Amino acid sequence: MKKHLRTLAPALASLLFVAAGAPWLHGQIAEAIRAHVDHSFIIGNTTLPPGEYTFRMMQDSDLEVMTATSESDKTSVDFIVRETTADHTPSHSELVFRKYGSTEFLSKIFEGGSKSGGEVTETSRLEARLAKRMQHATEHTEEQK
């Protein structure tokens, strides 16, 4: 019996660590993030007007699809994200935008208290054209309270 326990213990411990670490491996955003954006911005090929938005992971999407919904529920867009890591641990939720001239593209989303977040994987046709024209993007972060 002791021999079986000795051989099973490492396997069970490994299984426990994998199961406990699975959410961290995806490292996605667990709670809905409410944000005020005071400028229009683009996600994928959809332009969203300034306003109040809620960003949340879509259920049953394996933590790969997010939805941005305006508070008025008039505007909603789904987009694919992958895990990304911030260079700091934000105290509040953050939205990161890439800006070409006056056009802004949502780039990353981080939940307050976590270095792990979501990065938008879909590049819009407009952003691809701007990048191709060698326009340099600036990146800026908007902290949400």
State pLDDT tens for residues 42-98.
Answer: 999 999 999 999 999 988 767 689 999 998 878 899 999 999 999 999 999 999 999
Distance in Å from the first CA to the final CA of the chain: 56
19, HSE (Cβ side, Cα atoms, 13 Å): 6
Answer positive or negative: Cα dihedral of 86, 17, 56, 144. Answer: negative
Domain count, the chain: 1
**104-121 pLDDT tens trace:** 999 999 999 999 999 999
Domain, as residue range, for 137: 28-143
Residue 94 lies in a domain: yes
Residue 9 lies in a domain: no
Residue 85 lies in a domain: yes
Residue 55 lies in a domain: yes
| Cα gap 108→84, rounded to integer Å | 8
Residue 10 lies in a domain: no
Residue 134 lies in a domain: yes
- pLDDT given for residue 136 in this prediction: 78
**82 Cβ neighbours under 8 A, 6+ residues apart:** 64, 118, 119, 121
Residue 43 lies in a domain: yes
Q: Judge whether residue 100 has pLDDT over 50.
A: yes
